[in-house]
Chains A and B, each alone.
Chain A
Amino acid sequence: MTLAEEPTTATPEKEIGKARRRKEDARLITGRTTWTDNMVLPGMLHLAVVRSPVAHAKITNVDLSAAREAPGVVAVFSGQDFKEEQGSIPCAWPVTPDMVNPGHPSVAVDEVNHVGEAVAVIVGRTKSAAQDAVELVDVDYDLLPPVLDMEQAVAQGTGLCHDHLESNESFTFVFDAGDAGTGVDTEQAFADADVVVSRRFVQQRLIPAFMEPRSVVVQPQGDNYTLWSSTQVPHILRVMLAMVTGVPEHKLRVVAPDVGGGFGGKLQVTPEEVLSLLVARRLGKPVKWTETRSESLMSAHHGRDQIQYIDIAADREGNVKGLRCRILADMGAYLRLVTPGVPVLGAFMFTGIYKFPAYRFECRGIFTNKVPTDAYRGAGRPEATFAVERIMDELAVELGMDPLELRRKNWINAEEFPFTTVAGLEYDSGDYETATRQALELIGYAELREEQRRRRESGDPVQLGIGFSTFTEMCGLAPSRVLGSLSYGAGGWENASIRMLPTGKVEVVTGSTPHGQGHETAWSQLVADSLGVPFEDVEVLHGDTSVSPRGLDTYGSRSLVVGGAAVMKAADKVVAKARRVAAHMLEADEDDLEFSGGTFSVRGTPGTGLSIQEIALATFAAHNFPEGMEPSIDAEATFDPVNFSFPHGTHICAMEVDTETGMVKIRKYASVDDVGVVVNPLIVEGQVHGGLAQGIAQALYEEAVYDADGNLTTGTFVDYLVPSAADLPHFDTGNTVHAAPGNPIGAKGVGEAGCIASTPAVVNAALDAVRHLGVSDILMPLTPERVWRAIHQGGDGGGRATAGTVAWGGASTETTTGVSTDESSLGGDR
């Protein structure tokens, strides 16, 4: 045995591509961390919000006297108390110049426009004191008829959601490829086409249902305020809160501590955040508000909710000639942060991966007396992908073609990238054929088709179907110039800085605030490779506007693609500065230095190395520094992409349908995704699985249902069905890699891919199983009842009875008792 040391010149293993377990998970999973609701400040008061039990009414009187006298209650406020200072919840995305925004008070003043809207706020010494007083607030409502159905809302002579507006329409947004010069005339294309297929698809309303309920803590200190919130967007929140409340931006610090999920649901400036700040300012005391799950389901923003009228034109050989989309998008009662922008984001993705020569998109934003919609995982792209992947199947049926053959005939070929679509986007890279071939192998396509044939021939009560989704999406929100052209109120850049500590450890500050994605792990891997430091020596700081002053946070699969790119750029700058110091210390020319594995060495002179850690210490001491150079090798960088990135993939679902009961069961699911270069395969796999779960949930399980009076009857997780692992199949996943040319990592983004791709694959599979029985559409979610009705009674399965399924479901919560009428058929009365 020798005592030889490990050679220090060995190149450390590359971190990028390694399936590192996430360094943040131990604290996140055990909950031993700073969830906002875990925070306790001296003298902290607790808020409870009184919410409207009715969907549409004038408030004629609010009597707070009994609540004010309740034990442990410090103060009670109604909308009257804050009407001068609460402003409006901001909408940062006026999608058209004449978009109508009714204004969104944080606490209702004269009228309520959806069940769950705040009408008063109780401030108690304890949470239970505040909660106990909620029932003591007496509000008189003068009921108005609610507007709940979009197709009725746009009809002539209908009731109004907001009686001070002229109609229920917020905006009409049009993209016409002919007008834009990116395609030919759409009307002409349809007039000339051999075949036109028209369908009406419904994107049901969904609830983001993040794991950690929302929570806010505000601490006033002198004329400063610190606001902790379970938010995805501390940086955006700070700017917006300053604008709304008049607290100057430099007097407001916003912190997103560890945040337990969002899925877009925490990409918001919430009424409760504004209220908490207003109450803390009024009382000069720290306050906390944490929502209950019931409050979350009924008052946090919802997602999706579109009615899509889709027309596709083609010739008899199956060459697509045009796509026309007319969309009704439900805004809910108000416009929140990016409410109108969500359907507009989708406008450019309805053509999917296909070479349509003509395209027209028309979207009307409609007000209804429901909670506002806003971003939800995919935000616009799942809606678009669903429409195009469903209509391609319908066209294939019309033409008598194999759905995959039709897709192949029309998709962009690998050698055609970069490809500018009829919607004007430049798709960066990919190979749809290879991904599809791989997915077909993964699922065992030939055997499944054979089994399908056997079951059909034998009239098996359980039929089998196979559905495809060959999708792409756009990630990496966003090129600031593009956002500007779409009238979005902010840019899309991201910021990062790197601090080299004297001991050689590294602090990475990112403006992309995580809420469960694993930034700390992935960023550490990026920096470990770039600087040649150990993975463990990197600490990632985020989420506090006083620690990471510049950033635009996490949504739209942007973090790695934009935020990670900023980290890479900052690391390059650190290396460049360190190189200058190394050259000075090694008395060599900068150009003669090579940097590898964290060490600078003079080319051709072995044993001359100087590690970046040694340089960090030398920088700290600054005893011997290059002439004219500031003693720092820290660096900051901002990355603004020039284009989106476009992940793509092929998802195939095999579905069993029990024709006797309507029960559907996913037999097999295979997905091959191209998300560009993979930094951490474990995180990517997790994102794909979670995305698939959510996309499948839209197809099969989840729907926010309102009854005829506007009560949310899916008011608990008993009736809003979020599937668990037990309800989902095994996923066979694979990937192809085409590096994104638009960022230094080559990553395309993966946060939403599974969610965007899977929904149409699942619905197409179910339809493929029963199409020979005369079924051409089934509304989502595919409840057994709808599937059974579609098979045995025709149609699309129809609406659902709206009563909750157990006594404690429906619009009744601890703060409001749902008001039911004969029409509303609420649960609990059977």
Chain B
Amino acid sequence: MIPAPFAYARPTTVDEALEAVASGGEDVKILAGGQSLIPVMRLRLAAPETVVDLTRVAELRGVREEEDAIVIGAMTTHSDVLSDPLIARYAPLIAEATGTVADRQVRHRGTFGGALAHADPAGDLPAVALALDAEFVIAGLQGRRTVPATEFFVDYLTTALEEGELLVEVRVPKLGGTWGMRYEKFNRVAQAWSIVAVAAVVRREEGRIAEARIGLTNMGPTPLRAHAVEAALVDVEATGEAVAAAAEHAAEGTSPSSDLNAQADYRQHLATVLTRRAVTVAAGL
């Protein structure tokens, strides 16, 4: 459990970090909370030439309000997310999902941005970001660009981040009042990854479901939106039957893997059950 030798940089600003990444050689890995990178390095499945550690980049930490969005710094730890009042008010789904991530020790080290940039389809936060229509602010030596969640997750463990770029913050639209949210996670033991999970965000209007956004965890190489379910939940009466009927479409367009926890057909079944349960709670039923 000893990593292969590597060079190490610990910048204190985003600019320094970008410089360090640019000058780090062929294979540079960015260390955020290290809860995925360090195990992979210790198992020598990754042997980067340089590790750029962002833990001292203070400007990447914290949550702030910016007009109709909240902005979460990429290096904000899960633990800080859980106690943040802005998230609790405008995006409680993030807190709910973050509370299911691993254990207390991991949540103190692991970061919001790190989990998103790692883009593990079994991770909880990618599907949540997708359901919330979050935007990803990416910094490079040439400046900053913003990528919508639907374009950020490209493939298994692969995002829109190009070589030399850093995820610096994530903008999440403020959703309060009429919006209900629920993260329905299914796993075998408390500290495990999701076998399948469903993030549901529902806007309610006078006993009706006006619109719903459904994010699916671990139903393919990337987090997915359950578009067919969403289409079936536009301006419908908020009843158990309507939700159940819509949830039957949850597996459409998914391509889950088969592994020790579940084979693909069982995952697809779980997606329908969990979607029904998540939407039911989010819709206040």
Chain A residues packing against B (C-beta within 8 Å): 127-128, 131-132, 135, 292-294, 660-661, 663, 701, 705, 713-714, 716, 718-719, 721, 723-724, 726-727, 783-785, 788-789, 800-809, 812-814, 825, 827, 830
**Smallest CB gap from B261: residue in A:** A805
* Interfacial chain A residues near B42, Cβ < 8 Å: 814
* Given A808-B40, A808-B45; A784-B188 close (CB under 8 Å): yes
Q: In the assembled complex, how far is the CB of residue B121 from the closest CB belonging to chain A, in whole angstroms? A: 8
Question: Is there an interface contact between A785 and B266, defined as CB atoms closer than 8 Å?
Answer: yes
* Interfacial chain B residues near A809, Cβ < 8 Å: 260
* Interfacial chain A residues near B1, Cβ < 8 Å: 292-294, 814
Which residue of the partner chain, among B44, B45, B266, contacts A789 with CB atoms under 8 Å? B266
Question: Is there an interface contact between A128 and B189, defined as CB atoms closer than 8 Å?
Answer: no
Interface of B is mostly: loop
Q: How far is the CA of A293 from the CA of B4 in the complex (A)?
A: 17
Within 8 A of A (CB), among B20-49: 39-40, 42-45
Q: How far is the CA of A727 from the CA of B187 in the complex (A)?
A: 11
Which residue of the partner chain, among A135, A789, A827, contacts B259 with CB atoms under 8 Å? A827
B178 within 8 A of A: no
**Smallest CB gap from B264: residue in A:** A801
* Given A705-B260, A807-B157; A783-B188 close (CB under 8 Å): yes
Question: Is there an interface contact between A806 and B120, defined as CB atoms closer than 8 Å?
Answer: yes
Given A705-B260, A805-B193, 4 new contacts (CB under 8 A):
A135-B44, A804-B259, A805-B122, A812-B43
Chain B residues packing against A (C-beta within 8 Å): 1-2, 4-5, 39-40, 42-45, 120, 122, 156-157, 186, 188-193, 195, 221, 257-263, 266, 269-270, 273-274
Interface hub of B39, B266, B269 (most chain A Cβ within 10 A): B266
* Interfacial chain A residues near B258, Cβ < 8 Å: 801, 803, 825
Q: In the assembled complex, how far is the CB of residue B120 from the closest CB belonging to chain A, in whole angstroms? A: 7
Q: In the assembled complex, how far is the CB of residue A459 from the closest CB belonging to chain B, in whole angstroms? A: 15
Interface hub of A127, A135, A721, A724 (most chain B Cβ within 10 A): A721
Question: Is there an interface contact between A783 and B261, defined as CB atoms closer than 8 Å?
Answer: yes
Question: Is there an interface contact between A801 and B5, defined as CB atoms closer than 8 Å?
Answer: no
Q: How far is the CA of A39 from the CA of B120 in the complex (A)?
A: 39
* Interfacial chain B residues near A789, Cβ < 8 Å: 266
Question: Is there an interface contact between A807 and B259, defined as CB atoms closer than 8 Å?
Answer: no
Q: In the assembled complex, how far is the CB of residue B60 from the closest CB belonging to chain A, in whole angstroms? A: 25
Which residue of the partner chain, among B157, B188, B266, contacts A788 with CB atoms under 8 Å? B266
Q: How far is the CA of A660 from the CA of B44 in the complex (A)?
A: 40
Q: In the assembled complex, how far is the CB of residue B79 from the closest CB belonging to chain A, in whole angstroms? A: 17
Q: Which 7 residue pairs across A and B have the least CB separation, nearest first?
A: A726-B190, A801-B258, A803-B259, A830-B257, A814-B44, A292-B1, A805-B259
**Smallest CB gap from B272: residue in A:** A660
* Interfacial chain A residues near B45, Cβ < 8 Å: 807-808, 812
* Given A294-B43, A806-B122, A806-B193; A801-B260 close (CB under 8 Å): yes
Q: How far is the CA of A825 from the CA of B191 in the complex (A)?
A: 25
Q: In the assembled complex, how far is the CB of residue A722 from the closest CB belonging to chain B, in whole angstroms? A: 8
Q: How far is the CA of A467 from the CA of B193 in the complex (A)?
A: 30
Interface hub of B156, B188, B190 (most chain A Cβ within 10 A): B188
Q: How far is the CA of A809 from the CA of B192 in the complex (A)?
A: 13
* Interfacial chain A residues near B43, Cβ < 8 Å: 294, 716, 808, 812-814
Q: How far is the CA of A714 from the CA of B261 in the complex (A)?
A: 11
**Smallest CB gap from A781: residue in B:** B188
Q: How far is the CA of A803 from the CA of B261 in the complex (A)?
A: 9
Question: Is there an interface contact between A727 and B2, defined as CB atoms closer than 8 Å?
Answer: no
Q: In the assembled complex, how far is the CB of residue B276 from the closest CB belonging to chain A, in whole angstroms? A: 9
Question: Is there an interface contact between B261 and A785, defined as CB atoms closer than 8 Å?
Answer: yes
Q: How far is the CA of A809 from the CA of B43 in the complex (A)?
A: 10
Question: Is there an interface contact between A802 and B269, defined as CB atoms closer than 8 Å?
Answer: no
* Interfacial chain A residues near B270, Cβ < 8 Å: 661
* Interfacial chain B residues near A661, Cβ < 8 Å: 186, 270, 273-274
* Interfacial chain B residues near A716, Cβ < 8 Å: 43
* Interfacial chain A residues near B157, Cβ < 8 Å: 807
* Given A292-B1, A789-B266; A803-B260 close (CB under 8 Å): yes
Q: How far is the CA of A783 from the CA of B263 in the complex (A)?
A: 12
Q: How far is the CA of A725 from the CA of B264 in the complex (A)?
A: 30
* Interfacial chain A residues near B40, Cβ < 8 Å: 807-808
Q: In the assembled complex, how far is the CB of residue A9 from the closest CB belonging to chain B, in whole angstroms? A: 54
* Interfacial chain A residues near B274, Cβ < 8 Å: 661
Question: Is there an interface contact between B263 and A785, defined as CB atoms closer than 8 Å?
Answer: yes
Q: How far is the CA of A476 from the CA of B3 in the complex (A)?
A: 45
Q: How far is the CA of A590 from the CA of B166 in the complex (A)?
A: 88
**Smallest CB gap from B121: residue in A:** A830
* Interfacial chain B residues near A812, Cβ < 8 Å: 43, 45
* Interfacial chain B residues near A802, Cβ < 8 Å: 260
Q: In the assembled complex, how far is the CB of residue B38 from the closest CB belonging to chain A, in whole angstroms? A: 11
Q: How far is the CA of A381 from the CA of B115 in the complex (A)?
A: 45
Question: Is there an interface contact between B260 and A800, defined as CB atoms closer than 8 Å?
Answer: yes
